Chain A
């Protein structure tokens, strides 16, 4: 089954404790992206990757890191999480920048206390 898998689905952590949210896709897509979703603000892009070893900042990259060492994986790293990073995070993949369709993971609800 074609899918984008995120883990964990839910995470509660404390301020400053490094964490990683994993994302994996099995569709051989070149393009992958991370979004955060907040009430009233819709979806905002954090980082995206056009291919292996190619990443770029989205609209709200501050406080986040990503890596793309393999085509299928695109982890999101929060080196020192803060409460304002409490949000619902989505990973997405696509053939080329969403030009035809973006496939989304189920989401990760992160709470930073």
Chain B
């Protein structure tokens, strides 16, 4: 069964520094990949997604992610973070299940804390 591992539960970083949030998944058969962000006291919103095509995906707020099939990874990056990027980030994988339906499998989240 598919599993999603976010390798860091917490990432502290200084403002304007680059950041990488790491995500690995277990199976690359027919997967779609997502990063969601959850700001304090809010629901989740989509940052970016990979369905097919170019392995480098650009999302909102200056974030990007690279799909690496051989390493089954989908790491999220931003070259220069702002205080407002402080949030919880979730990696998710959509895979076909036995009933030929797609199901989202979620990582446990990475808490990004941007300090001044």
Contact = CB atoms under 8 A, between A and B. Distances in A.
A104 B43 contact: yes
B32 A99 contact: yes
Contacts of B103: 45, 97-98
A45 B101 CA distance: 15
A41 B108 CA distance: 6
Interface in B19-46: 32, 34, 36, 41-46
A94 B106 CA distance: 16
Interface in B44-83: 44-46, 49, 51
A107 interface: yes
Given A42-B109, A43-B90, A98 B104 contact: yes
Contacts of A106: 42-43
Contact of B106 (A43, A101, A107): A43
B57 to A, nearest CB: 13
A100 B43 contact: no
A99 B94 contact: yes
A1 to B, nearest CB: 14
Contacts of A42: 90, 106-109
A100 B104 contact: no
Interface string A83-113: 0000000101000111111101111000000
Interface in A33-47: 40-45
Interface of B: 32, 34, 36, 41-46, 49, 51, 90, 92, 94, 101-104, 106-109
Kindly list the 6 A-B residue pairs having the minimum CB-CB distance in the complex, ordered from nearest.
A97-B102, A104-B43, A42-B108, A98-B104, A99-B102, A104-B44
Given A98-B102, A102-B104, 16 more contacts: A43-B90, A50-B101, A90-B44, A96-B101, A97-B101, A97-B102, A97-B103, A98-B92, A98-B94, A98-B103, A99-B94, A102-B44, A106-B42, A106-B43, A107-B41, A107-B43
